[in-house]
Amino acid sequence: MNETEFNLHFIPLFPLLGAVFNLLLGKQLLRSLGDRLGREVVHLVAIGAIAFSCFFTISAVFEVMVGQDYDRLVDSVYPWIVSGDLHIGFDLVLDHLSAVMCLVITGVGLLIHIFSVGYMAKDPDYGRYFAYLNLFCAAMLILVLGKSLVLTFVGWEGVGVCSYLLIGFWFTDDAKATAGRKAFIMNRVGDFGFILGMLLIYTVVGSLDVDAIARACALGEQSPLVQKLIFGVPIATVATMLLFVGCTGKSAQIPLFTWLPDAMAGPTPVSALIHAATMVTAGVYLIVRLNFLFALAPVTMAVIAVIGAATALFAATIGITQNDIKKVLAYSTVSQLGYMFLAAGMGAWVAAIFHLVTHAFFKACLFLGSGAVIEACHHNQDIRTMGGLREKMPVTAGTFFVSCLAIAGIFPFAGFFSKDEILLHAYANESRGIFTPGGMELNYILYSLGALAALCTSFYMFRLYYLTFEGKFRGDHHTWHHYVREHWIMSLPLVILAGFAAIGGLLGWPHVFGGVIHIDHVLEQWLEPITSLSGTYGGEYTVGVREQFLHEGHVGSGMELTGMAIGLGIGIAGWVFARRLYLDGPSEQAAMLAKRFSALHAASSAKYWVDEIYDVLFVKPVRMIGQLCHQVGDMLLIDGVGVQGTAGAVGVLGTLTKAWHNGNVRRYLASLTFGVAILLGVIYLNPQVSRGDILPKNAAGERELAPDIGLRRTFGAQSVNMDLFWGLFKIHLPGKAEQDAAARRGPPGGEIIRAPALEPAKNPDGRPLNGGAGGQP
Amino acid sequence: MTFALGPVPLLPEPAAAAGQATTASAQALVDMVHLAPMMIVGIWSLIVLVADAFARPGLRRFQQTLTLLGLGLAVLAAVGQFGHYEYDGGIEVFSGFLYVDQFALLVDLGILGVAGAVVLFAGDYNRSHRFEYGEHESLVLIATFGVMILAHAGDLVALFLGIETMSIAVYVMVGARWNSRQSPEAALKYFVMGAFSSGLLLMGIALVYGATGVTGLDQLSHEVSTVFTKWRAAQDYVAVVEAPEGFPAGMVDMAQDKVALGIAPAALLIPGVLLVLGALLFKVSAVPFHMWTPDAYEGAPSPTTAFMAAGVKIGAFAALLKLFVGTFIVGSLVQAPYGWTSVVLWLAAATMIVGNLAAVRQTNVKRLLAYSSVAHVGYLLVGVVAAASFYGDRPAKGYLPTADEHAWASNAGDTAVASILYYLLAYAVATLGAFACVSWLGRDKKEASAAHEWSGLAQRHPGIALGMTVCLLSLMGMPPMGGFFGKLFVFRSAFEHGSEALRIVVVIAVVNSVIGAVYYLRLIVSMYFRPPLERDLGHVEGRGAPVVLAAAAALSVLIGIGADAMMQRCRLASAGFRIPPSEARAERVDELRAQWEQREAEADRKAAQEEGQQPGQKAGQQPGQQPDEKAQVEVPAAAAPSAEGGTPPAEAEALDDGG
């Protein structure tokens, strides 16, 4: 591993500074510099920040990493948490994986910042918007650059917060604010799993540094992560499952996907950046980042693959019947993320990242296009009232179409390559015999699900395209005649992104075509230092197709070509089907089909009632518990008894205490005397002292100290009042014994001892002087 | 067996023989140099007093400057001494009448700071309230001198002298405001109560002396255990006395004598110790000896109140620590049923409860702060009990402690004493700031001490309000401030000691901190969120109080942020606290210093290693050389007299101890 130090912290620092600038000064600028100039300053700062980040990343990756042949650039910014054995540094690392992510984040982020200038041009909260956008980029960059999982988690939460802020950007609209809350809360559910997973890893590895985890995984099957069990399951499996729970939240997979469609309440560029290109792919990034760990947990991998495939199909079927342009794209995003998890679950790390990248291009382009459409149609999002917009906005329509081709998997657009690679993996990676439902190998099921989802994808995307841009306009005249003209600042990002969507496939040129045009699978070679870890550590999950293709011969070129042909056929079939049904607006055939499959149609358009089910299962019970806690716990116990009661009690006691101090010196002196009496009394009136039996005893069972300075026997024998201060004035002999002795001897002995020990033996009758003074026979 | 009842003088052996007179006077000179800070303050108090005779009413500022100069000299001397190896083991001066050790020097530094601050803002205050008097600075110096005697005391008599010197000067300062009715009243109350407690103290000292025949603290710590040994030796005869049947009458009588002789010293010592304790508890104003506190604090001029709240408390706690944590460390005297800790522990709980509850209802800021200071005494007493329990528990366990246990207990006890010192200093700083603010508000015989007069202070004087807020938050125990770490250290020490009662009281203390937050926050709220009074009450002219307030606020934060470094200094002062000045104590300090050096070296090595690892192969050669270079540079730095901050010292250590 060839690494060097590099000032990586500049990458997230600049967006952060931009965010701080706009948060503090944004509003002020608009007010003091005038609307026009103020907006210029705001967006120039924001765009400048992200542009700097972008160019810095590019130079770091291409000049330092590629040019000088380094595998990793690291930056130990400062020791962040140091507590006992726990050392967590604020360490950033730019390796091959985070390089890809950083390029996507800053590149797509830059374009979306530029697009936002047009989209948000009339918004009064201009500064706040760009501040949040910059803040998001900073958090996302920390997420991918973090060397330790803790730092990744910081970014993970940071993007969650920014997502919440941006979904609820127009928070005066209650529905939008609610959508923001929903996104945040569902993400927190996932984060719970993330935290538990991290802690579990920490208990075994003793560190959350990714390198340390990799070292712990290096032993493969002998690793403590596999050897140690928790509830009879290897810790690696449990931990990865928990981490995957976090991923399902952030990346909107079953069962935590319902927040993403609602998140469309935010401004559309936000949907493009956060809810399509970057944040929602964090889960995929995390799995690939920890590929060596996941490779040790085959059960988790199978679960990931199944959930990914199921999500892909499930969301795709919902997408078919949606009528909100952004909702369709949202479900499409969920579906495409499912593909990525399917790939990750198959151990096809490269394919997952490849699809992540291409998806970032075409989905961002689609979202931005939809944003342009929404802007043009005066914030109308219903595609049933659109149509024929190609005439009015040719650039948007063109780029939208290119992206549709890409997402539908039509050769030679980007999606074709990435999706085919995933489907090929799904088909070729024979399952490890973990799940064989119905006697069928898992991989065939996954392949079928994926292929079916691809058909749906192609269909709903072209349905969307045709309903929006082709046919006749179905809205009102006013909108048609007063549509918002395309502006270069919004078209430019579209064109660039469409360009990437078209040629992005070159990043992952299949080997089977290697002979035709000699291009390597660039991404696979680039990511090899990362993905090879799971090959060497995990054993089972080698690098997927390439390994099998080259070494094991499982996947022949014939199979690969067949897979491509099927994929292309599916894509074209969906396209043709959609074109027939929707070229001139919703056709009667479409309505007939909907009627024939009315149950399915209803289920799909109602999103399978998932939200309603969750509402009944989780939201309502939690609300009820919350209500109960509020009424009983908060209002009654804490507010009533706790706060009011305590305050009242303290007040009463305080008044009493205050009344005690009445300023009278006599009382003060009495109190002082009382204090001295307490001090002495605690010893002289101590029941322990007066009983004498339970005094501390030494090892031999003898009493350590005789209780004779206390009141033990004097209580019974003599007056108490004398004895309280007895020790102060004279030495007192044990009362009872004394009386006994005196009874034997006659008259009682003297009470005051006068230096007796000096001549005890000199007394003629052998008795000491004190006894003899009054007790002469 | 030599035992004497009654006032048989048992003087310590005369140290100087006839021929050594000249060396003795030379020795006295050397001793004076060792006592430089104290001597400077003492002499300066006279100089200032003389200067007053030549001062015209308009030129009082000169005395202030002069006093500050003297205090500055004393601080310089103390800074030069504190942390110096020479004082590691402690030095006995004037034949053991006074000690010069790290503990005393740290307390010196604290009290000198307090005195300097009070002198800084008292002049303005007195002028503005029209009762300027020339003796003030001199009185402050005399009181400071008294506190320093307490810190240095190596003898019960020195202790008594220190307390009286301090108290009498403070009585005068309390009553010095002739144009107010409250001030003489407060002085009289304080004086009557103080005289009573002095009587208790003297009586206690007499009894202790009667029991042991010595007054020097190091002999005392030895003699006290002899007292209990004698008592224990009388055990064999108890059985005879209890069941005399079967014994010859002569034998029974002899046994009675033996028992009487055995218990006599203890019978004198225990009440004596308790009376001394009562007197000291009065000085620190613990419940139920606290009644004078609110009246005296309210009636006294605010700068004097500041001195009482910060300076007198430091002195009284120094005395309390010296006697009860450093000297009377015998298991039987610490532990129930004959020990004092059980009662003081619950008095501590009562002190914080009463202090906080009374403060909640106060509408007068000075009374409020007075009660809050009572509450703080409660927290501090918990630490005192913890420290004494660590030192004193060992013999009381009923078996001889192993070497490890011994070391652990001594170490934990030292840490507890260090925590108390830290708490005291943090408290003194914050409370000085608070009283500086109180004294700044109001003018012309009218102090703005009613809470409602503080409303909206932040609008009128944002800087003052900010400084006051920081000080109040520190008193409240808000994390970045020093007060928080003081509480943390003290409570942690107390909690570490396994005793259940201590733990319960720690819980009570934590609950009380929350109650305390109520009145501090209420004051802050009224400063920031209430509209200001229509009539501006004005403020004292001069920069003294704002400067002190700003410094106190800054120091509160600094002490909190640099808690490690501060704690390290306190730890140095408390190392081997229970051992009288000797080589053994120096060894403890040496051990501590060696630990720090080792830790520092380790930290350096680790840092160098990490630096070495991270750059990987490329930079692989550089770190290999770095540690050596660093070590060479660091050795003289580590050997420097004053312990430098920046290493993870006592806190980490305390954590290691199992907190």
Cα angle for residues B136, B309, B519 (degrees, 5° grid): 135
| A87 burial via Cβ count (<10 Å: 0-12, 13-18, 19+) | middle
User: Quick one: pLDDT band at residue A737, thresholds 50, 70, 90?
Assistant: low
User: Quick one: pLDDT band at residue B652, thresholds 50, 70, 90?
Assistant: very low
Which residue out of B228, B287, B291, B621 would a mutagenesis test of the A interface target, given it has the greatest number of A Cβ atoms within 10 Å?
Answer: B291
Query: What is the span of the domain harbouring residue A46?
Result: 1-147
Contacts of B399 in chain A (CB under 8 A): 699
Q: Are residues B125 and B435 in contact, defined by beta-carbon separation less than 8 angstroms?
A: no
The minimal CB distance from A654 to the residues B357, B610, B619 is found for: B357
Interchain contact A766–B (C-beta under 8 A) = yes
- Domain annotation covers residue A387: yes
User: Quick one: pLDDT band at residue A730, thresholds 50, 70, 90?
Assistant: very low
Q: Please identify which residue in the block is written with the tokens 């430091």.
A: B314
Residue ending a domain, choose from A629, A654, A671: A671
Shared-domain flag, residues A9 and A104? yes
Contacts of A642 in chain B (CB under 8 A): none
State residue B180's pLDDT score. 87
The answer to whether A731 contacts B4, with C-beta atoms less than 8 Å apart, is no
B274-308 tens-digit pLDDT: 999 999 999 999 988 988 999 899 999 999 999 99
Shared-domain flag, residues A460 and A391? yes
What is the rounded distance in angstroms from the CA atom of residue B235 to the CA atom of residue A233? 65
Shared-domain flag, residues A482 and A585? yes
User: Quick one: pLDDT band at residue B401, thresholds 50, 70, 90?
Assistant: low
List the one residue out of B132, B161, B135, B134 whose CA is nearest residue B146: B161
- pLDDT at residue B366 above 60? yes
- pLDDT at residue B400 above 80? no
State residue B488's pLDDT score. 93
Q: What percent of chain A has pLDDT over 90?
A: 30
Q: What percent of chain B has pLDDT over 90?
A: 46
Query: CA dihedral in degrees (A612, A614, A618, A620; nearest 10)?
Result: -10
Shared-domain flag, residues A568 and A651? no
- pLDDT at residue A724 above 50? no
A266-320 tens-digit pLDDT: 899 999 998 888 999 999 999 999 988 888 888 888 889 889 999 999 999 999 8
Overall residue count recorded for chain A in this entry:
777
State residue A50's pLDDT score. 94
B217-251 tens-digit pLDDT: 989 988 988 888 887 777 777 777 777 787 888 88
The minimal CB distance from B256 to the residues A74, A654, A733 is found for: A733
Residue ending a domain, choose from A132, A147, A162: A147
Mean pLDDT of A93-113: 92
Q: Which of A373-382, A643-652, B324-333 has the lowest mean pLDDT?
A: A643-652
**B476 vs B360 pLDDT, higher one:** B476
Contacts of B620 in chain A (CB under 8 A): none
- Domain annotation covers residue A171: no
The minimal CB distance from A655 to the residues B231, B238, B361 is found for: B361
- Domain annotation covers residue A240: no
> How is B262-308 classified by DSSP, letter by letter?
HHHHHHHHHHHHHHHHHHHHHHHT-TTS-THHHHHHHHS-HHHHHII
Shared-domain flag, residues A506 and A641? no
- pLDDT at residue B319 above 90? yes
Mean pLDDT of B391-418: 76
Q: Please identify which residue in the block is written with the tokens 């031999």.
A: A700
Shared-domain flag, residues A444 and A381? yes
**pLDDT, averaged across chain B:** 84
Shared-domain flag, residues A37 and A88? yes
Contacts of A746 in chain B (CB under 8 A): none
The answer to whether B361 contacts A657, with C-beta atoms less than 8 Å apart, is yes
Which residue out of B1, B2, B254, B377 would a mutagenesis test of the A interface target, given it has the greatest number of A Cβ atoms within 10 Å?
Answer: B254
A166-196 tens-digit pLDDT: 999 998 888 899 999 999 998 988 899 999 9
Contacts of B374 in chain A (CB under 8 A): none
User: How many CB atoms sit inside 10 A of residue A548's CB?
Assistant: 19
Tokens of A345: 């679950």
Mean pLDDT of B644-659: 38
What is the rounded distance in angstroms from the CA atom of residue B183 to the CA atom of residue B300? 5
Residue ending a domain, choose from A147, A169, A192: A147
Tokens of B350: 């009562």
User: Quick one: pLDDT band at residue B398, thresholds 50, 70, 90?
Assistant: low
Q: Are residues A719 and A713 in contact, defined by beta-carbon separation less than 8 angstroms?
A: no
- Domain annotation covers residue A771: no
What is the rounded distance in angstroms from the CA atom of residue B459 to the CA atom of residue B536? 12
The minimal CB distance from B616 to the residues A3, A689, A725 is found for: A3
Contacts of B516 in chain A (CB under 8 A): none
Shared-domain flag, residues A389 and A509? yes
List the one residue out of B516, B326, B557, B517 whose CA is nearest residue B420: B326
What is the rounded distance in angstroms from the CA atom of residue B318 to the CA atom of residue B320? 5
Which residues lie below 8 Å from residue A93, measured CB to CB, with a gap of 6+? Answer: A8, A72, A73, A74, A75, A145, A146, A147, A210
Give the A:B interface size as CB pairs under 8 Å: 210
Shared-domain flag, residues A476 and A342? yes
- Domain annotation covers residue A339: yes
The minimal CB distance from A705 to the residues B231, B261, B655 is found for: B231
The answer to whether A755 contacts B5, with C-beta atoms less than 8 Å apart, is yes
Chain A stretch 688-727, residues whose beta carbon is closer than 8 A to a beta carbon of chain B? 688-689, 695-699, 702-706, 708-709, 725, 727
Q: Are residues A23 and A11 in contact, defined by beta-carbon separation less than 8 angstroms?
A: no
A30-65 tens-digit pLDDT: 888 888 888 889 999 999 999 999 999 999 998 888
The answer to whether A671 contacts B399, with C-beta atoms less than 8 Å apart, is no
- Domain annotation covers residue A591: yes
- pLDDT at residue B309 above 90? yes
- Domain annotation covers residue A266: no
The answer to whether B614 contacts A756, with C-beta atoms less than 8 Å apart, is no
Shared-domain flag, residues A494 and A617? no
**pLDDT, averaged across chain A:** 81
Q: Which helix (H) or strand (E) holds A5?
A: strand A3-5
Q: Which amino acid is at A603?
A: A
- Chain centroid to CA B210: 28
- Domain annotation covers residue A355: yes
B506-525 tens-digit pLDDT: 999 999 998 899 899 999 99
B618-636 tens-digit pLDDT: 444 444 444 444 444 333 3
Shared-domain flag, residues A415 and A456? yes
Interface ipTM > 0.95: no
List the one residue out of A574, A556, A45 whose CA is nearest residue A319: A574
Q: Which helix (H) or strand (E) holds A30?
A: helix A10-32
Which residue out of B191, B238, B354 would a mutagenesis test of the A interface target, given it has the greatest number of A Cβ atoms within 10 Å?
Answer: B238
Q: How many domains does chain A have?
A: 3
Q: For residue B188, what is the nearest residue in chain A, using CA coordinates?
A: A665
User: How many CB atoms sit inside 10 A of residue A69's CB?
Assistant: 8
A215-226 tens-digit pLDDT: 888 877 788 888
Shared-domain flag, residues A369 and A504? yes
